[in-house]
Amino acid sequence: MPSIKPLSMLAFAAGLVAAVLPAIAHASDSFGAIAYSRETGSLGWSYDHPSRRAAERTAMNNCGESDCEVLWFKNACGAIAAGPDGWGSGWGNNRRRAEREAVNSCASYSDDCSVIRWQCSGAR
């Protein structure tokens, strides 16, 4: 007759794995950001930071202007697109998607939008 003990151990092990996996995934998150000044066109960016706050702070410091606005992303890519009358931002699981989203966002405000900066963090 089979013992119940191995089944209990298996259930315990499965529960342990389920509890540990989210922590492992969380520990490997990678944040990035792009900061952009509409006034001067100045840009700052960051990648592979352990937190959103650290990524945003680095991008803002690198941008160096008081009016910089920031786009952040996690385990993804981000992009900024600009045209003569406005700009837009976007993110995606790869550079191509992020650039497409940024151009589409910019097109709501301006014609002739083009990507002026992209960056990936934890994704390619």
First and final CA of the chain: distance in angstroms?
A: 53
The count of structural domains within the chain is: 1
| 115 is a domain residue | yes
The domain containing residue 93 runs over which residues? Answer: 27-121
Asked if 59 and 51 touch (Cβ cutoff 8 Å), the reply is: no
Mark 30-67 as b/e (b = at least 16 C-beta within 10 Å). bbbbbbbbeeeeebbbbbebeebeebbbbbbebbebee
Q: Assess if residue 19 is contained within a domain.
A: no
Which pLDDT score, from 0 to 100, does residue 122 have?
A: 86
Residues 6+ apart with CB under 8 A from 103: 81, 88, 90, 113, 114, 115
pTM: 0.76
- Domain assignment of residue 8, yes or no: no
**Is residue 90 included in any domain, yes or no?**
yes
What pLDDT is recorded for position 21? 42
Per-residue pLDDT of the chain (124 residues; tens, 9 = 90+): 444 444 444 344 444 444 444 434 456 899 999 999 999 999 999 999 999 999 999 999 999 999 999 999 999 999 999 999 999 999 999 999 999 999 999 999 999 999 999 999 986 5
Q: Is residue 33 part of a domain?
A: yes
Would you say residue 17 lies in a domain? no
